[in-house]
Structure 1
Amino acid sequence: MSIGVLFAVLAAAFLHALWNALIKLGTSKVGGMVILSIAEVPIGLAVVLWRPIPAAEVWPWVFAAGCTHFFYKLFLTYAYDRGDLSRVYPIARGAAPMVVALVGAVFLADRISPMQYAGIGVLGLGIALMARGVFTDGESRRLLPFALGSALATATYTMIDGLGARVSGDAVTYVGWVFVVDGMLFSSGMLAMRGWAVLPAAPRAWVVGGFASAASYGAYAISIWAMTIAPIAVVAALRETSILFAVLIGWLAFGERMTRGKAVAAGLIVAGVMLTRL
């Protein structure tokens, strides 16, 4: 991997942590996620506008991914309502690859190497330590089910996307349509559940939400581009440094408490994820 690709993947990791931080920044986490979702629709349309329409067998995968993204966003916003970025993000982001690895080994006939088994163990230890910190540091315990729910949804749409992109044969078009369906489902669903009052009135909220959506797509696009010119496993492992970026943003930008236990847990989660990816 060249130095240029290395820094590009690190930038993608930072962008992923950044858009999560921007959602956490707003007074209404759900409102910020709705704005992000609305902005996803034109971004997705810009990607697919000049590309062929997917075959009929692709659409069930697209809609399944969109529905799963709905729950991912819902759980994530509820978790951020109840906990710190530096606590929620590592749990939500770190537990997902562990679930994917275990489910893939059982149901998808994926082979797990000894290094990946070690990674699952390290990852589980890090998540347990991070979750334990909720009880010892006096934080709201209600963040845990939502953070873990977000991780489960992430693991689900990861497997759906992997299979759906294979059926499609065109990952770029597939992801573009997922953005469109995901954006429409979440924004319309939250408007139906909470009414128009869920939309923040302040122009600043729309600017921040739009920027978060662009950062979200940028993080994904850079990662996909890097995987075309560098080993996929290395890129996938390196982008998990987003966990460290999120912890640092929470600590330095939001003034969240940084304990030794939280720092050690975050380090273990990153190490475990990297081992499962390599």
Structure 2
Amino acid sequence: MTAAGFCILLLSAFIHATWNYLSKKAGGGAAFIWLFTAIAAIVYAPMAIGVVLYEKPDFGIWQIVLIMASILAHLGFFLVLQKGYQKGDLSLVYPIARGTGPLITCLLAVVVFHEQLTLPAVIGILLIVVSILFFTGGIKRLTESGSLIPILYGLLIGAIIAAYTLLDKAAVSHFLVPPLLLDYCNTLGRFILLTPFAAKNWHQVRSEWKQHRIEAAGVGILNSLAYILALSVMVFAPVSHVAPIREVSILIGTVMGAVLLSEGFGHRRIIAALFMVSGVISVAIG
């Protein structure tokens, strides 16, 4: 991977952690998702049109199938993510989700894309597992009332992240779907699928706009920007490298949750985040 690609992924990681902080701060559900999706659809429409006119991408049956699968995976991600943030802290749900996501991605990439898993990668995987135990407070704390649900949400989100990462890697690198256009198709598909709900529950949308319009605008703009940057690097770099490097956002998101949202276990979770970042970097090197 080039130095430019590495720097782009670091920028993407910071932007990603920022929009997750805004999303957790808003604490909304499907109405909030529809609202920030509508904002993204408006903001990125001129750029998507420009890509279509300039690049003239050729869409066949496989491109359409991958885009539709990606839309459903991303929609599931946002719905489960918002629910997870309602059940647990940002500094718990976010790092577990972002840590297990590349872990599963790398393991599947070996099978799907025949990428190599070396000793540093295996060490990185072990570091990620250890860091998850730090985040959760150990196996003993898992048995405490209310502790298991947020962790399960984090793991489920991680599995969904792995699914859409592999789908989108295939779309942009093997079937040459332009990264910005792929993300915009996701945005547009999510908007269409959630519009019936928004129309039926318009009072919720109005409430979210009244209380969280700044957060919705921030998530709408930053979510797409972060992923477009990552997809652009994914065009030429192995997905088993891109996915882990992006997870520097784990440390950023954990600090945001512990400091800006005053969530508990701050020092322990920051230490765990350092373990996890070391793990994902080791996976990337491997």
Query: Shorter-chain TM-score category?
Result: 0.7 to 0.9
3-state secondary structure, aligned to 1:256 = coil
Q: Which amino acid aligns with 2:130?
A: L
Change (3 A) 1:156 1:7: closer
Within-5 A mapping of 1:56-95 = 56-57=60-61, 58-95=63-100
Change (3 A) 1:152 1:238: closer
Partner of residue 201, structure 2: 195
Within-5 A mapping of 1:111-260 = 111-132=116-137, 135=142, 140-172=147-179, 173-185=181-193, 187-188=194-195, 190-191=197-198, 195-201=201-207, 202-224=209-231, 237-260=244-267
Q: Which amino acid aligns with 2:16?
A: H
Structure 2 distance, partners of 1:162, 1:75, is 22
Provide Cα deviations, 1:92-114, integer angstroms capped at 9, x if missing partner: 11100111112222344332111
Partner of residue 12, structure 2: 12
2:132–2:272 contact (8 Å) kept in structure 1: yes
3-state secondary structure, aligned to 2:263 = coil
Structure 1 distance, partners of 2:243, 2:205, is 34
Match 1:277 to one of 261, 269, 284: 284
Identity of aligned residues (%): 22
Report the Cα offset of residue 64 of structure 1. Answer: 0.2
1:93–1:151 contact (8 Å) kept in structure 2: yes
Q: Which amino acid aligns with 1:254?
A: L
Partner of residue 33, structure 1: 33
3-state secondary structure, aligned to 2:116 = coil
Give me the TM-score of the superposition, normalised by structure 2: 0.82
Task: Judge which range, 18-27 or 197-206, deviates more.
Answer: 197-206
- Could you list the runs of 5+ residues in structure 1 that have no partner in the other structure? none
Change (3 A) 1:70 1:223: closer
Task: Judge which range, 202-211 or 219-228, deviates more.
Answer: 219-228
1:28–1:200 contact (8 Å) kept in structure 2: no
The alignment of Structure 1 onto Structure 2 pairs a total of residues equal to 275
Change (3 A) 1:38 1:233: same
Provide Cα deviations, 1:183-216, integer angstroms capped at 9, x if missing partner: 433x336538x73344242434223202211111
- Could you list the runs of 5+ residues in structure 2 that have no partner in the other structure? none
3-state secondary structure, aligned to 2:248 = helix
2:44–2:184 contact (8 Å) kept in structure 1: yes
Report the Cα offset of residue 130 of structure 1. Answer: 1.7
3-state secondary structure, aligned to 1:142 = helix
